Structure 1
């Protein structure tokens, strides 16, 4: 039974951390980072938040791990009333004289709501949640050792793109000379531009930020950045994808040729992919209405793929048998990658001609939800199931204990 409770508790902790909006309790800060010093002793405060303003008991413990003996708690049980917004506590850190393995080492401090026992025995079965604050201890590398973090600013097409390169020297020795070089690659991995920083030193256990700016002609799309830091005869790299602008396909024009009323009208729809990569599964809907707002046509184009920055013609067909000469309101909706481009149209039908005018030129892409809330709902459902399992375990545990009494 105890082993099952531990497994279920671990499930609840991981789910609770991933779905913070569903938590009855919170904890702050989410983490504390300290640099290793031999024999360092330090106290670290943290706060548990009573999000639901209810009466509850919270157990606090250090998750078992290779470095858990570095931490000692001041409070293992904290009692909250409905009037308590939050309560503070702390833990002490005592580091050893040396650590063999360099790098960042993690210790998890867990706060978990306890179910309340009913009067006369038994346990209340309800949601039990847990949250984690982390202690991160950075143990320096011998000599010179640099790591990189790369952040990219948001930008629209034609705007400058800023890159922020954070170089951290996690070593015990100063870096005399460091220089960042950043390559920008297109969707087919071709090199588009190269940016270089100036040279700079980086002190031991210190950080230096390099800012690089790309001012070239930028088309909308996804790009790949690779940054290389060369320092005192050593090299390290980091990379990430970044986007410029928004994924968008424009509708340039719509026309009908060789038409005769009563026959099938072929609408030639010219579209242009503004994105720098191929977009698959593109199709459109043409909806035509009469003066009373009644639909006289709702036709769909074939699905197609549109290459990077490609212009392409797609087709919609309208059977005009029984259709009268006159003006019709219409709209064309282009569907692609969970987005739509929509154009309002004025359609004038003659005996031997159909003229289509696109109303306005400012219609942009609209993101549409294609999957609903399934991802979040599934996560919450898993959380609820795990929490019910935990509380069921507590229920049987307390009942068995009551029977033994």
Structure 2
């Protein structure tokens, strides 16, 4: 009986190890195809030839080349299969007309063919995409307004990209207004000269926003665009930063404990450059005691967040304390005040926790049942041997 149990454990462990090794082998397999994405504007009757490369870490792997998507009927491949990777080309012969405007997708796929040894869920498939844009009838534009966050007293690049997605050539005349959201006040206005953009083409309107004298905070940029008598608009928000690190919050409750308790200060930078050596000086006091400490410094990335830490000995602390946090950085400082409460934790014995008690009872019961099963089979086996010996003697 004991040998059977040992063999059972061995077989389970061996099966688990084998599955881990098998899974690791699958995870290490790699299949790639490039280029992964190509985009084109639709042109009636146009022929597009694309060259692809497939890579695989299995030199003898058979790879099937497939085509999918709503324009798959217009695609031909110069090869149907590869072994261990290689090159192939796809030729797209567009029709004279596609009725539905917008994006149309073609997938160019490389799919592993499973071998006889690996026929259940072990193959890898990967697809490249070809996107064809069919223009909308008449006038249609796709604008994009790009403005990064910046700092006061600098020049922030402003870029308006306009793509002509319609069938008509257009004259584009944009205006961009900048509004300080805290006061709902317009602080700057850009006006651009008209620019012609042909169907399927795009162009850019660019200027620099001089933030000298700007207040730090959140801003709204609104682009009003006239395109050959039609109007549309697009908005985006951005931040004009100041050299200021905000104390977002700090720990307000700690347990009274024999071990050190962690006091945390969460900070956030409102500056678009790295700030090095940010640290906090903290005073914790009440009518009977006072404690002062200085945290280790940390660096904050542009617009980044951070946590300053200190470990407090709370054994002699109780009730509520006033907290004053002073943050120091780059010759500047920020302050925040609040309270800290020390929580008394009632000590309980192990058996006060009903879940531990129930869990212990269940574990003991399981062990007893398992022992009874082993004893039962052992006695049954012994009785069988005794009966066999009696039969021989008789």
Secondary structure, aligned partner of 2:116:
coil
Distance, in Å, in 2 between the alignment partners of 1:43 and 1:299 is 63
2:34 equivalent in structure 1: 28
Q: Deviations over 1:267-289 (max 9, x none)?
A: xxxx6xxxxxxx6xx225899xx
Task: From the CA coordinates, give the structure whose radius of gyration is larger.
Answer: 2
2:108 equivalent in structure 1: 109
Q: Give the superposed CA RMSD.
A: 4.6
Q: Aligned in 2, Cα 1:197/1:55: closer, same or farther, shift over 3 Å?
A: farther
Q: Is the 8 A contact 2:264 2:309 kept in 1?
A: no
Query: Aligned pair 1:37/2:31, yes or no?
Result: no
1:161 equivalent in structure 2: 156
Q: Is the 8 A contact 1:116 1:124 kept in 2?
A: no
Structure 2: gaps spanning 5 or more residues = 1-26, 268-280, 311-323, 335-394
Distance, in Å, in 2 between the alignment partners of 1:181 and 1:214 is 14
Post-superposition shift, 1:178? Answer: 1.6
Larger relative contact order (Cα-Cα within 8 Å, sequence gap ≥ 6): 1
Mapping of residues 186-265 of structure 1, within 5 Å: 186-187=180-181, 190-192=184-186, 193-216=188-211, 217-245=213-241, 249-250=245-246
91-100 or 38-47: bigger deviation = 38-47
1:92 equivalent in structure 2: 91
Counterpart selection for 1:340 from 301, 306, 317: 306
Q: Deviations over 1:368-400 (max 9, x none)?
A: xxxxxxxxxxxxxxxxxxxxxxxxxxxxxxxxx
Q: Which has the higher helix share?
A: 2
Query: Aligned pair 1:68/2:32, yes or no?
Result: no
Post-superposition shift, 1:209? Answer: 0.9
Q: Is the 8 A contact 1:341 1:364 kept in 2?
A: no
TM (normalized to structure 2)?
0.55
Counterpart selection for 1:148 from 133, 136, 143: 143
Distance, in Å, in 1 between the alignment partners of 2:28 and 2:305 is 30
TM (normalized to structure 1)?
0.54
Q: Is the 8 A contact 1:144 1:173 kept in 2?
A: yes
Q: Deviations over 1:281-313 (max 9, x none)?
A: x225899xxxxxxx9996578x99xxxxxxxxx
2:284 equivalent in structure 1: 317
Q: Is the 8 A contact 2:72 2:106 kept in 1?
A: yes
Q: Aligned in 2, Cα 1:111/1:296: closer, same or farther, shift over 3 Å?
A: closer
Q: Is the 8 A contact 2:264 2:307 kept in 1?
A: no
Secondary structure, aligned partner of 1:106:
strand
Q: Aligned in 2, Cα 1:27/1:200: closer, same or farther, shift over 3 Å?
A: same
Distance, in Å, in 2 between the alignment partners of 1:182 and 1:131 is 43
Counterpart selection for 1:183 from 169, 177, 197: 177
Q: Give the length in aligned residue pairs.
A: 273
Distance, in Å, in 2 between the alignment partners of 1:55 and 1:318 is 73
Distance, in Å, in 1 between the alignment partners of 2:111 and 2:127 is 9
